A and B are shown apart, each in its own frame.
Chain A
Amino acid sequence: MENSKILKSGEFLVSEVESKDIFIPEEFNEEQRMIAQTCSDFLEAEVYPNIEQVEKGDRELMKSILKKSGELGLMGISIPEEFGGFGLSFVTQMLAAETTGAGYSFSVAYMAHCGIGTLPIMYYGNKDQRERYVTKLASGEFIGAYCLTEPGAGSDANSGKTNAKLSEDGNHYILNGQKMWITNAGFADTLVVFAKIDTDRVLSAFIVETKYPGVVIGPDEHKMGIKGSSTAQIYFNDVKVPVENLLGKRGEGFRIALSILHMGRLKLGANVIGAAKKAINDTVKYANERKQFGVLISTFGALKHKMAEQVIRLFASESAVYRVSKDIDILMGKLTVDCGDYGRASIEAISHYAVEAAILKVVGSEMLDYVSDEAVQIHGGMGYSAEMAVERGYRDSRINRIFEGTNEINRLLVVDTAMKRAMKGEFDLFGEAEKLYSGLDNITDGKTAGESYYQEKTRNIKNFKKVILICIHGATKRFAKNLINEQEVLNNIAEMMMETYVSESLALRVRKMESLKGNVSLYKDMLDVNIFDTAGIVRKSALEAIGSFSSPESCPILILAIENLSRVECVNVKDARRRVADKLIEDNAYKF
């Protein structure tokens, strides 16, 4: 893996890697598996027995569970040893995020603490700040929170009104303002607060202790889901923040906020995998016990279809999650050597993969929504009962499409960031697109006689990428700088990019699995279904997009090109899904 070819963020649109170049979950080492087991044991021992009580709003209980996770060392996974953690790889961090993701609202509280509550200080703090705060956050002595959103500043974070004025003696910033939707507000010890200094137009970041006079925590919000996590408004009334608690440089706040969001999106992509596995496990157990018309409901084809879809979407997302994670690890290693600071190198590597971070966030949260929704559906009336875990999972799932940047923002980011990176010359997107566009008349599906299984899948995926390039070229030619206002077209392109990236990750994973362990027929079934579905999404999205930018003359040529490029071989997806579902049903658990 050390000599693997890694692509730049977004470069997958114009370049390929081989299966040996990617990391797959089947390669987790013994230590990583043990860490995952510890996370899972912790949920069984401390979270599930208490979840009802926590959901009723027992914040002390939630705090004590968080502290216990700290005692076990689970809060130090991303933190270097010199600051009280274990300095583990990004892949390992993501595995821990995945496993704890099955912990309902605990997962939100824990991830908020370990991620946005701790990592801004780890990544941007100076030595003194890291020693004073990160060591305590890594052990769980302190609980952290992150204050960016304001009543008038949500997705448009830079429009926040919270203000910091330097005191006359120059020793403090006087903080005034209001923040909302603050996870862990009810029991946090430290806050990373974003505010504008004096009349600055850009944000700065501060470390604020909740014990400072003038910090007022509002009552908890009543939420649809994740009811066990504390979410409240925080008010800052003339709070004296020592000048040494300015995080990073003055005016660096927006950059910190954005980079931390990239990290949050990646971790969310892993987190939802754990939640989805839990929902699938609960679902198949129920389907294997519930009888109707004298037979188990798991024998019904309609339900096998749903369960197989749950598995396939999960497995495909997971493939993308760990592919990106290893790329980040490799880049992180290189940057650490270059700059010598683990924290800065980490956030630079994470921020570099902004396109993939947004993809994981959107794909993952929508995968979990599908899985949770069908989990309730397969439970029938019981799924609507608050006694069932899937009911909680369904409510808890919904927030994932909203926080860490809404999926709408993230869809735009997928395309916008990739195009900006290409414009900076990081890879040749527009040249490739131009070439394709000029040869539209001659585009075929490229099928050759006697191609192997993987050659066929690789060709399909390359064709999907060609469709994306054609649409990017057509849309930029038609709308030019105004493309940013054509959000529907950007959404069409984003949809194709996301699905193609995930399909490619799945194809590479299956191929690597075959080289590692032989027979992977069931995983080929998953790949067949996934490629078939992606072809449909690519075709529909592209046709929608070209309708908005093509002329009456170019439209028929474009349609023909799209038809050719989105064509895939006929597959019996019904039987393929049944085989996947049958394994799930036989194992009575997700064991893929």
Chain B
Amino acid sequence: MKILVCISNVPDTTTKIKFAEGNTSIDTTGIQWVINPWDELSLTRALELKDDAASGIKSVTVVHVGPSTSEPTIRKALAIGADDAIRVNAESSEAWFVAFQIAEVVKKEQFDIIMCGIESSDYNGSVVGGMISEFLGIPSVSAVSGIKIENGQPVMTREIDGGKEVVIVPAPFVAIVQKGIAKEPRIAAMRGIMMARSKPVKLVESVAVEPLTQIVVFEKPAPRAACKFIDADNPAQLIDLLQNEAKVI
């Protein structure tokens, strides 16, 4: 079996986001880019499965839709342990476009399991996985918190309200994974880093498709108002503020 892990390139989670072009794009100056944390966990689990000889997983490939500036993120995935990579050479403008490109890759390359994070820490769209499965006409399983291979059959655990659900679906399928799929992201070992430079990264040109989403404007949340402290002996003031200022009672 072959696994494809979709990785997205996102700003480091400590980045202070600034907007550009009339608040319709992100100012990328000085941003440190990392693998989307959910995708990184997804990759870690894929590699754990491959490490288990009994799983029958032969290879783990990563796919990324992005320009050449995102190569370091791909190399990082290779350093962590992916066998090879595919980069669709295009700006990843929005989910529909990205999902379409990944689906095109899968059509040509044939994978058994396509794994992607439930969301990305930049736009938090949470739709790419579902769209890929729709484009390909294959099953998708969302909110996957565990995946193992039993007698050659991938078995997934899903978090559901108040419990868990264990499911199997016919391959190929898309597993949309959430945190818990792996304990901690795998740290790139020195040997992996050294090997990453010689691992193949296949460059694929994008297929023309009209994006469906246009960013109208980004807005930051309003700054939080200062916390007011009220004397414990003065409940009347509290009631007054809740009624007349916060207008919640």
Residues of A within 8 A of B (CB): 30-31, 33-35, 37-38, 41-42, 45, 71-74, 76-77, 86, 586-589, 591
Contact B16 A588 (CB under 8 A): yes
Contact B193 A35 (CB under 8 A): yes
- Complex: how many Å from CA A35 to CA B72? 12
Contact A38 B16 (CB under 8 A): no
Contact B188 A37 (CB under 8 A): yes
Chain A residues, Cβ within 8 Å of B75: 30, 34
B:138-182 near A, CB below 8 Å: none
Closest 5 CB pairs of A and B: A73-B190, A41-B187, A72-B189, A34-B193, A38-B188
* Nearest-Cβ distance from residue A223 to partner chain B, whole angstroms: 30
* Nearest-Cβ distance from residue B72 to partner chain A, whole angstroms: 5
The residue from A30, A38, A588 contacting B190, defined by CB atoms under 8 A apart = A38
Contacts A37-B188, A72-B190 aside, 11 further interface pairs with beta carbons under 8 A come to A30-B72, A31-B193, A31-B197, A33-B72, A35-B190, A41-B185, A45-B184, A72-B187, A76-B190, A86-B194, A586-B16
B113 at interface (Cβ–Cβ under 8 A)? no
* Nearest-Cβ distance from residue A4 to partner chain B, whole angstroms: 24
- Complex: how many Å from CA A6 to CA B193? 30
Chain A residues, Cβ within 8 Å of B197: 31
* Nearest-Cβ distance from residue A589 to partner chain B, whole angstroms: 6
The chain B residue with its CB closest to the CB of A294 is B226
Chain A residues, Cβ within 8 Å of B187: 38, 41-42, 45, 72
Contact A38 B14 (CB under 8 A): no
Contact B16 A86 (CB under 8 A): no
Contact A588 B188 (CB under 8 A): no
Interface 1/0 per residue, B39-72 and A, CB below 8 Å = 0000000000000000000000000000000011
CB-defined A-B contacts under 8 Å, sample of 11 = A31-B194, A31-B197, A34-B76, A34-B196, A37-B188, A38-B187, A41-B185, A73-B189, A74-B190, A587-B16, A588-B14
Residues of B within 8 A of A (CB): 14, 16, 30, 71-72, 75-76, 79, 184-185, 187-191, 193-194, 196-197
* Nearest-Cβ distance from residue B128 to partner chain A, whole angstroms: 25
Contact A38 B184 (CB under 8 A): no
- Complex: how many Å from CA A132 to CA B249? 78
* Nearest-Cβ distance from residue B195 to partner chain A, whole angstroms: 11
* Nearest-Cβ distance from residue B127 to partner chain A, whole angstroms: 30
Contact B14 A34 (CB under 8 A): no
Chain B residues, Cβ within 8 Å of A588: 14, 16
Chain A residues, Cβ within 8 Å of B191: 73, 86
Chain B residues, Cβ within 8 Å of A33: 72
Chain A residues, Cβ within 8 Å of B16: 586-588
Contact B194 A591 (CB under 8 A): no
- Complex: how many Å from CA A485 to CA B75? 57
The chain B residue with its CB closest to the CB of A44 is B187
Chain A residues, Cβ within 8 Å of B194: 31, 86
The chain B residue with its CB closest to the CB of A32 is B193
Chain B residues, Cβ within 8 Å of A72: 187, 189-190
Chain A residues, Cβ within 8 Å of B14: 588-589
Chain A residues, Cβ within 8 Å of B71: 30
- Complex: how many Å from CA A547 to CA B38? 67
* Nearest-Cβ distance from residue A103 to partner chain B, whole angstroms: 14
* Nearest-Cβ distance from residue A85 to partner chain B, whole angstroms: 9
- Complex: how many Å from CA A38 to CA B187? 6
The chain B residue with its CB closest to the CB of A34 is B193
Chain A residues, Cβ within 8 Å of B72: 30, 33-34
Chain A residues, Cβ within 8 Å of B185: 41
* Nearest-Cβ distance from residue A45 to partner chain B, whole angstroms: 6
- Complex: how many Å from CA A33 to CA B33? 12
The chain A residue with its CB closest to the CB of B185 is A41
- Complex: how many Å from CA A41 to CA B79? 14
* Nearest-Cβ distance from residue A480 to partner chain B, whole angstroms: 53
- Complex: how many Å from CA A263 to CA B182? 40
Chain A residues, Cβ within 8 Å of B193: 31, 34-35, 38
- Complex: how many Å from CA A35 to CA B191? 10
With most chain A CB atoms within 10 A of its CB, the pick from B30, B193, B197 is: B193
- Complex: how many Å from CA A30 to CA B74? 11
Chain A residues, Cβ within 8 Å of B79: 34
The chain A residue with its CB closest to the CB of B197 is A31
The chain A residue with its CB closest to the CB of B191 is A73
Chain B residues, Cβ within 8 Å of A589: 14
* Nearest-Cβ distance from residue A456 to partner chain B, whole angstroms: 28
- Complex: how many Å from CA A72 to CA B188? 8
* Nearest-Cβ distance from residue B160 to partner chain A, whole angstroms: 30
Contact B189 A38 (CB under 8 A): yes
Chain B residues, Cβ within 8 Å of A41: 185, 187-188
Chain B residues, Cβ within 8 Å of A86: 190-191, 194
- Complex: how many Å from CA A174 to CA B187? 45
The chain B residue with its CB closest to the CB of A285 is B14
* Nearest-Cβ distance from residue B32 to partner chain A, whole angstroms: 8
* Nearest-Cβ distance from residue B67 to partner chain A, whole angstroms: 15
The residue from B76, B188, B190 contacting A77, defined by CB atoms under 8 A apart = B190
Chain B residues, Cβ within 8 Å of A76: 190
- Complex: how many Å from CA A77 to CA B193? 12
Chain B residues, Cβ within 8 Å of A587: 16
The chain A residue with its CB closest to the CB of B190 is A73
- Complex: how many Å from CA A31 to CA B76? 9
- Complex: how many Å from CA A37 to CA B76? 10
- Complex: how many Å from CA A42 to CA B190? 12
- Complex: how many Å from CA A153 to CA B76? 48
Chain B residues, Cβ within 8 Å of A35: 190, 193
Chain B residues, Cβ within 8 Å of A591: 30
* Nearest-Cβ distance from residue B18 to partner chain A, whole angstroms: 10
- Complex: how many Å from CA A34 to CA B30? 17
* Nearest-Cβ distance from residue B205 to partner chain A, whole angstroms: 23
Chain B residues, Cβ within 8 Å of A73: 189-191
Chain A residues, Cβ within 8 Å of B184: 45
- Complex: how many Å from CA A431 to CA B190? 49
* Nearest-Cβ distance from residue A309 to partner chain B, whole angstroms: 22
The chain A residue with its CB closest to the CB of B18 is A586
- Complex: how many Å from CA A520 to CA B184? 38
The residue from A34, A71, A586 contacting B188, defined by CB atoms under 8 A apart = A34
- Complex: how many Å from CA A45 to CA B14? 17
* Nearest-Cβ distance from residue B158 to partner chain A, whole angstroms: 27
